[in-house]
Amino acid sequence: MDTDTASLTGIQGFAAKVGGAPLALVSELRGMWSVLARTLYYVVRGRRERGAIVEQMFAIGNKSLFFMTVTMGFIGMILVFQSGLQAQKVVPDYQVLGPLYLKMLVRDLAASIGAMPLATRVGAGIAAEIGSMVVTEQIDALRMCAADPIEYLVVPRFVASLIMTAALLIWAAFVAFIAGMITANLVFEVNFHTFMNATMVEPGDVLIGFTKCVAYGAAIPIVSAYCGLRTFGGSEGVGWATTSAVVNSCLAIIVLNFFISAAGYFVFPT
Amino acid sequence: MPISFRGLHKRFGPKTVLDGVDLDVRDGECFFVIGTSGVGKSVLIKHLVGLLRPDAGEILLDGREVSRLSERDLYDVRKRCAMVFQNSTLFDSMTCVENVALPLRKHQHLSVSQAATEALRRLDQVHMSEFADAYPAELGDGMRKRVAIARALTLDPSYVLFDEPTTSLDPINARRVDQMIDELAHRLGVTSIVVSHDLVSIFGIADRIAMLYQGRVRVVGTPDELRRSTDPVVQQFIEGRAQGPMEV
């Protein structure tokens, strides 16, 4: 009898371990979906706090500008340098280096690579701010004042992120391209005119790239706000919320990139 | 009874915090909920305004069951039943006047300027109008508490919940807060539920006291009844003894 119970407990324990992770994932996704749905509802139906969106646009956009410029400048240099080195082994002709690099930047790299550092800066900031408000009961105090935390805190960040992420990622593409062009000129002696060739970029590439900018701009605040809102405990909880906001935002970017790229491949095959 | 808790149960993970709480609060009284830290006092009062949902049981406010109301329906409850949080919980990014004006703007949909005018009047009542444009970080604990009380009273609630209002205050500021709570209940007829383990407050201004212990109400009575209680748990608490039957 004891053996049976022990074996049943063992099986149950194993089942709990195996089933627990997917259930937790489903629960997380449902939570994020709920935050997104309520945010969209309040974007359409909610009342705007005067200046809140502009304030968040400044925090998300302007304050990320220097960081994004430096990061994407270096990434642009590295990408072109490495691509040039590899190309050298196959065809020592750099005529297509610029056009191909520009196509990749527009279609994918500027948005997907640029969104990662943005997710760390913006995502961590949103999760830490909202998480701190949770553990200091400010979210409860907001609810007591009839201010829905989604409407009051998440909506301004969501709208600001949509606009500023798109703007920053377009800027990131520009910076990475210029940095790459200078690198190609200095290292591989590709002249600027040859490098700056947009003939391979098609409208579909621009549309896919812009879709990614908008999708990442929506995903970062939603994932981060969700992580902030479910903060539990004290400063340790805020630390965990911040970490999970960065990790989950980056994951969301990668997963979204996969689906948008796949859909883009079928609609606008290269 | 304007406020009743019936068979309230609440668990957080494996820990049972409330294990069948039954409690009635009378109109216009200053009702204290006492007990050791972590016994569930704050959890209990947060149920009343829907900041927490019970696992089982019901909460009646003016005869209306509030524990199953939607967040939007709870706004009406929160208009009538305000709360002063443990650490004042003012919004860091707002000035004092903006903090006090927020409930007016959200609950009563007043314009920014109308709400600010009313908020200034409320701040004046707690002698904080000269700090209207200060941020909470620039104020001391006692001043923050007074602003928090002004914010809670700004909608003229019928009930006010105080979560450890004198914790972290010096004795002088603590007694000032006691005086405000006392005036609220006994001069303005506002029913107050005060969560506290400050013995001076408890025996100074309480009309009745309920002691929570192991997730249930151990005793309810007037301060004199508690003093005369022969229950060793009650005696250990009010005498502040480290040794006794109460588990740590």
ipTM of the complex: 0.89
Distance CA B132, CA B116 (A): 10
Q: CB–CB of A146 and B103 under 8 A? A: yes
Compute the mean pLDDT over every residue in chain A, rounded to the nearest whole number: 91
Q: CB–CB of A137 and B71 under 8 A? A: no
Q: CB–CB of B83 and A144 under 8 A? A: yes
For B149, phi then psi, to 5°, come to: -70, -40
B55 token code pair? 């696992």
Sign of dihedral through CA atoms B19, B24, B25, B31?
negative
Biggest CA-to-CA distance, chain A: 83
pLDDT in tens, B74-85: 999 999 999 999
All residues of chain A having their beta carbon less than 8 Å from the beta carbon of residue B82 are: 144
Of A138, A147, A148, the CB nearest to B89: A138
All residues of chain B having their beta carbon less than 8 Å from the beta carbon of residue A136 are: 87, 89
Distance CA A140, CA A131 (A): 12
Count of H helices and E strands in chain B? 9, 10
Q: CB–CB of A146 and B112 under 8 A? A: no
Q: What confidence score (pLDDT) does residue B115 get?
A: 94
Q: Which helix (H) or strand (E) holds B149?
A: helix B141-153
pLDDT at residue B147 above 90?
Answer: yes
Mean pLDDT of A61-77: 95
**Chain B 80-109, residues with CB within 8 Å of chain A CB atoms:** 82-83, 85-87, 89-92, 102-103, 106-107
A213 token code pair? 């900018």
pLDDT in tens, A135-167: 999 999 999 998 999 999 999 999 999 999 999
User: If we measure between CA atoms, which residue out of A247, A242, A48 comes closest to residue A134?
Assistant: A242
Q: CB–CB of A138 and B103 under 8 A? A: no
In angstroms, the separation between the Cα of residue A29 and the nearest Cα of chain B is 21
Q: Decide if A252 contacts A36 (C-beta within 8 A).
A: no
pLDDT at residue A4 above 90?
Answer: no
Q: Which residue of B has its CA nearest to A138?
A: B89
CB of B157 within 8 Å of a chain A CB? The answer is no
Q: CB–CB of B51 and A144 under 8 A? A: yes
Distance CA A140, CA A222 (A): 20
pLDDT at residue A1 above 50?
Answer: no
Q: Which residue of A has its CA nearest to B83?
A: A144
Residue B138 half-sphere exposure toward CB, CA atoms < 13 A: 11
Q: CB–CB of B78 and A138 under 8 A? A: no
Q: CB–CB of A145 and B107 under 8 A? A: yes
Confidence category of residue B247, pLDDT binned at 50, 70, 90: low
pLDDT in tens, A177-227: 999 999 999 999 999 999 999 999 999 999 999 999 999 999 999 999 999
Q: How far is CA A250 from the centre of its chain?
A: 6
Q: Which residue of A has its CA nearest to B103?
A: A145
Q: Decide if B82 contacts B63 (C-beta within 8 A).
A: no
Q: What percent of chain A has pLDDT over 90?
A: 77
A11 token code pair? 């099986």
> pTM here?
0.86
